[in-house]
Chains A and B, each alone.
Chain A
Amino acid sequence: MMKRFILATSLILAACSSDPEASGLDVVRNFVTPEEYVPPPRFTALFNEPRPVLDVEFTDLGVTGKLILEQQDGPYARYISADLGGIVLQKGMLHSMYGFGEPLAGADLTEPLGLVIAGRAGQTDRLHTYLNGEDRTVSRTYRCEVSIIGQRSVDLPTGSVETTLMSENCHGITNSFENLYWVDRKRDEIIQSRQWAGENIGSLVTQVTFP
């Protein structure tokens, strides 16, 4: 019996696999006692040059933190976190999310973004596409009222920025929400906001700091 116990212990400690996707034991081991997280090179490499940083607070969950810009594609800014969660902003308006518990796959923001950036009031539609629990896309349309609240100064680590504060009140069949945007008048871009992401995580507050 003792021999078997020693054999079992040593073999389990020596458990190994040629499969980089981990042996069965690794799966269990990592799930039960996750090793201290080391950010991957894809994330750390971004610190080689000055990049915009996105401060995020998930207001309903009480979680805050920072993401860094991975790539700017025209109006789309892709930010990633240390554990490679992702947030895509379109001129500062929330477009899609990866890995934060809210499967927002994409959004058509053409109408609200047009009014908000231009600092004009009016009625718009916005479209969100989510992934449901069965990996199928579900689209939601919201009717929104964009309003001008007024001029505001926003204090960023790099200095004070003059903005126009805009609000967007949206109603859909299943949800209603209010978004707030602080639009940098020089950049024509939202630098601070409170936006609703979806049913799972609710709203988030964002602030972009440019280098």
Chain B
Amino acid sequence: MSYTKPISAFTAIVLVCFGTTGRSDPVNVSTYGTPGLVELPTAYMLDEGSLSFGVSLSGITLRNTATFQILPWLQGSFRYAITEDFGSQLDTRYDRSFDINAQLLQETDTFPAIAIGLRDFVGTGVLSSEYIVATKQISNDLSFTGGIGWGRLAGRNSFDNPLSILGLNSDTRDNVTTGFGGQVESGRWFQGQASLFGGLEWKVSDDIRLQLEYSPDQYITEAEFSDLRINSPVNAALTYNYSDKISAKAYTIGGSQFGVQFALMFDAKNRAIPGGREPAPTPITPRPRNGAALYANDATALSGTLLENELAGEGITLHSFQTENTTSIVNITNNRWDVEAQAAGRTARSMARALPPEIESFTVIFQERGVPVSSITTKRRDLEELEYDYDASWRTLARAQIADASQPGKAGPALSYDLGPYTAFSFFDPSSPIRADFGVQLGISYQTTPGLTFDAQFRYPLAGNLDGSDRESDSTIPRVRSESNRYAQESDFEVNRLTTEYLWRPAPETFARVTAGYLENQYGGLSAEMLWTPIESRFAFGAELNYVKQRDFDMLLGFQEYDVVTGHASAYYDLGNGFHTQVDLGRYLAGDWGGTLTVKREFNNGVKVGGYFTLTDVPFDDFGEGSFDKGLSLEIPLSFFTGRPSRRVLSQNIQPLLRDGGARLHVQNRLYPLVRDYRGPELRDGWARYLR
């Protein structure tokens, strides 16, 4: 047989992903990084789940904006703007701001889309404005936008506030920032004078668009400190849409300032490679026709060896294999599959290939760090019967049993290590908005018995500027995080972690953890946690108590004087429709009492976009700049881009200000994130890949 031209699944995939440039009427973004014309907003929304990253550079300012379409009608933005020679000291101004924008009405054949938005509604308010805007497409090539604005959008030809009939201030707007900024300035919204604005977008060709607008924004705040004058209200831009995901724009503001813009759209709802490119699963051989099967004839030990080899090929570690009557039970650790149900499916397939025909039932017990988390039992004949069923995922799920697994874990001693490069980042330091270190990292982990693990992580930075920040803490409360730069400055070889950890199952549906040692870069001590998480519940409750001492700045083995008892009671709830929330109440590192609310939009493919804020009994004035702790997070599984299954997740937290109030300990292997993916709701959410 000749075999000269192998088809490559990868080639086909590359062509699917990059061979076409879909251009289905992309929504363009303004210099503010939200759907708009040049500077003005439109009433359009991005597709749900879209994340837009925009960089806009003009002679006036640099704006970096991330916009996330949280719901079909609701979007939120975070912006980091850099303006040179701004303020009475003519310093460079670094400004963080948040926008929120809601579409009230969708566009129809006869009515325009209508949206309401708040720009820079938390923070110092330099960019703050509010608007109500309408956009209507009147032909395939032309759309018009018109609206009314307040704040910055009420510069030219302003008039008394029409909302004064609702009791809002008619002609003055309080522009004084409360305290140290960072607070929700609701007292300012829709206050003061208002102006009308409008514009159009003309589709010159498939990939070129022209935007023209009348903008009331006169850049009065910036003009106070410079000779900047925006005399014309007309802004114009030419946008090149390379695809519906990538665009570039050249624009002018008032004909006197010029700028360029680049925008990239990321679609969190769709994996980059449809369906992924993992190897096709091995066939389940029906037992009556077992010619090609690998069945071990009788000896259980032989079956176990066959199974171990089969599973190793799937990136799954077999810890134990036992047979009771016609049921085989395996304890495994999933090292490869980011969709846990797929790991269960691959294990069941391997069992169907390796185990003798008389075995009727397969039970797969997932373990994490040696501790059983859950079990999935599948009847062998269901796999055989449903392998080619068009509705196999639903039908196999209906017939599978997902249960808690609280029996003692099974695992022999295991040593693992990882030596390689690392990068560490610090954002938003005023003297250098992005700082980074690059170096070498060694991680070692030794599990002696199930649940008992010794972990160490060391780093040696080779290059970078994390130690370049000379910003001195001005904190008036214990400096539990605000001296983070001193750890970079005064260390060389870093002992990041050196811990002993014990995980166990004290009762059904319950997990427990105790960790002792050097828990994180800045703290060492003792951490204890319990979690109650019923296998089928969307609720989980946990409690954590830690006694920690602040480590020396050299990140070796010494401690400073400061110690604290810190801990939280936590409630976790899967709200459904892709939203997940967590509430933590307790005592933070500086001894302050309060709570943190975290909300995440979670896509079933593993992408998570979240935000949180913490309020404690530290007064806003004592907290300092930003008034209270808040931040954003983004997690994207590596498999989202590569199509290859992997447990690795690319994650980044964006914490605009690192202060001392509301600061938490960073202990490893908190129980909820450790076990959640193997509990009932998450396993069911991934079941469509069970037979893939």
Contact = CB atoms under 8 A, between A and B. Distances in A.
Interface in A59-112: 61-68, 70-71, 73-74, 76, 78, 80-86, 88, 90, 95-103, 105-108
B420 A101 contact: no
A4 interface: yes
Contacts of A50: 1
Contacts of B3: 47, 53, 66, 68
B638 interface: yes
Contact of A23 (B277, B339, B420, B604): B420
Contacts of A66: 3-7
Contacts of A76: 388
Contacts of B6: 39, 65-66, 81-83
Given A19-B335, A105-B692, A136-B688, A211 B8 contact: no
Contact of A106 (B8, B17, B389, B648): B389
A90 B388 contact: yes
A118 interface: no
Nearest to B603: A134
B225 to A, nearest CB: 41
Interface centre among B12, B419, B438, B604 (most CB of A within 10 A): B12
A83 B688 contact: no
A20 interface: yes
B419 A100 contact: no
A133 B1 contact: no
Interface in B1-35: 1, 3-13, 15-17, 19
Contacts of A73: 283, 285-286, 289, 387-388
Contacts of B7: 56, 63-67, 81-82, 85
Nearest to A104: B275
Contacts of B109: none
A15 B419 contact: yes
Given A12-B421, A15-B419, A133-B605, A7 B440 contact: yes
A147 interface: no
Contacts of A96: 388
A25 B421 contact: yes
B394 A16 contact: no
Interface string B633-650: 000001000110011100
A101 B275 contact: yes
Given A70-B283, A83-B9, A107-B390, A134 B269 contact: yes
A101 B12 contact: yes
Contacts of B312: 20
Contact of A84 (B17, B279, B392): B279
Interface in B230-281: 267, 269-271, 273-281
Contact of B692 (A17, A84, A102, A131): A131
Contacts of A21: 315, 335-336, 646-647
B16 A201 contact: yes
A105 B392 contact: yes
A4 B283 CA distance: 51
Given A17-B417, A137-B393, A99 B278 contact: yes
A100 B643 CA distance: 11
A210 B80 CA distance: 64
B390 A134 contact: no
B335 A101 contact: no
A146 B21 CA distance: 34
B413 to A, nearest CB: 13
Interface residues of A, number: 79
Given A15-B421, A21-B335, A64-B7, A135 B462 contact: no
A71 to B, nearest CB: 4
A105 B275 CA distance: 9
A71 B291 CA distance: 10
Interface string B366-406: 00000000000000000000011111111000000000000
Q: Is the interface of B mostly helix, strand, loop or mixed?
A: loop
Interface in A22-80: 23-25, 27, 31, 37, 39-40, 42, 47, 50-51, 53, 56, 58, 61-68, 70-71, 73-74, 76, 78, 80
A173 interface: no
Contacts of B16: 61, 101-102, 200-201
Contacts of B686: 135
B283 to A, nearest CB: 4
Sorting the interface of chain B by its residue count into under 10, 10 to 19, 20 to 34 or 35 or more gives 35 or more
Contacts of B1: 47, 50-51, 53, 211
A129 B393 CA distance: 10
A34 to B, nearest CB: 9
B470 interface: no
Given A61-B15, A98-B281, A131 B9 contact: no
Interface string B408-420: 0000000111111
B689 interface: yes
A18 B273 CA distance: 29
B463 interface: yes
Nearest to A61: B15
A210 to B, nearest CB: 11
A48 to B, nearest CB: 11
Nearest to A65: B7
B274 A102 contact: yes
A142 B4 CA distance: 37
B280 A80 contact: yes
A25 B440 CA distance: 11
B418 A23 contact: yes
A136 B604 contact: yes
B472 to A, nearest CB: 28
Contacts of B440: 7-8, 11-12
B12 A61 contact: yes
Interface string B516-541: 00000000000000000000000000
Given A66-B3, A85-B12, A101-B275, A106 B646 contact: no
A103 B274 CA distance: 6
Contacts of B605: 133-135
A105 B418 CA distance: 36
B388 A106 contact: yes
Nearest to A28: B421
Interface centre among B13, B420, B422, B605 (most CB of A within 10 A): B420
Interface in B307-361: 312, 315, 335-336, 339
A98 B275 CA distance: 8
A85 B460 CA distance: 42
Interface centre among B286, B416, B421 (most CB of A within 10 A): B421
Interface in A125-139: 127-129, 131-137, 139
Top 3 A-B residue pairs of the complex, sorted by shortest distance between their CB atoms: A65-B7, A85-B9, A103-B275
27 contacts: A7-B440, A15-B420, A17-B419, A17-B420, A18-B417, A23-B419, A24-B421, A25-B421, A47-B1, A50-B1, A53-B3, A56-B7, A58-B12, A63-B11, A66-B4, A66-B6, A71-B285, A81-B8, A81-B9, A82-B7, A97-B275, A101-B275, A102-B274, A133-B274, A134-B269, A135-B271, A137-B394
Given A27-B648, A47-B3, A101-B17, 4 more contacts: A23-B419, A56-B7, A131-B274, A134-B603
